[in-house]
Amino acid sequence: MYIFVREDLSPGQIIVQACHAVAESARHFLSKEDEHPHFVICGVKNENLLKNAYSKIIEQNIKAKSFIEPDIGDQMTAFATEPVCNEQRRIFRKYKLLKPKIPIIEAI
C-alpha cells in the first residue's frame, strides 16, 4: 500500500493526514481475510502535485482513496492505494519517500 502525503503541512498534520488516507483505503480495499499490507510513504511538495500523482496512479488502473480535509478548506492532503505488488510497484519508483521533518529518537 502506497501512501502519499503533502510535505507543506506541519509534521503533526503529515502524520494525521497519512493515517486518514490509510483508514479510507483500508475501509474500501481490505477485508478481514487479507494479510496486513506493507506500507511505503511518499512525500509530495503541495496539493497540486498530490492531485497530479493521484491522477497518474489512477490512470495506471491502481485503485486509490484520497482524503479531503474539511478543516483546511476541503483540500486534498493525502491518499493511499490499494495493496500493490509485483510489476505494479514499478510505477512508484519515480516518487520519493517521505523524509521526516521531526527528529527521530532512537531507543537506548
Q: Compute φ and ψ for 89, nearest 5 degrees.
A: -65, -25
pLDDT score, position 104: 57
What's the confidence (pLDDT) of residue 17?
95
What is the chain's pLDDT, residue by residue, as a tens digit (108 residues)?
999 999 999 999 999 999 999 999 988 888 777 777 889 999 999 999 999 999 999 999 999 999 999 999 999 999 999 999 888 899 999 999 998 776 555 665
Question: pTM here?
Answer: 0.88
Residue 14 counted as domain residue? yes
pLDDT score, position 100? 74
CATH of residue 53:
3.40.1490.10
Is residue 107 one of the residues assigned to a domain? no
How many domains does one find in the chain? 1
Q: Is residue 103 part of a domain?
A: no
Which residue has 488516507 as its cell numbers? 21
Is residue 21, in this structure, part of any structural domain at all? Answer: yes
CA angle centred on 101, ends 92 and 85, rounded to 5°: 20
Task: Print the domain residue range for 76.
Answer: 2-94
The one-letter amino acid at 79: F
Domain membership flag for residue 105? no
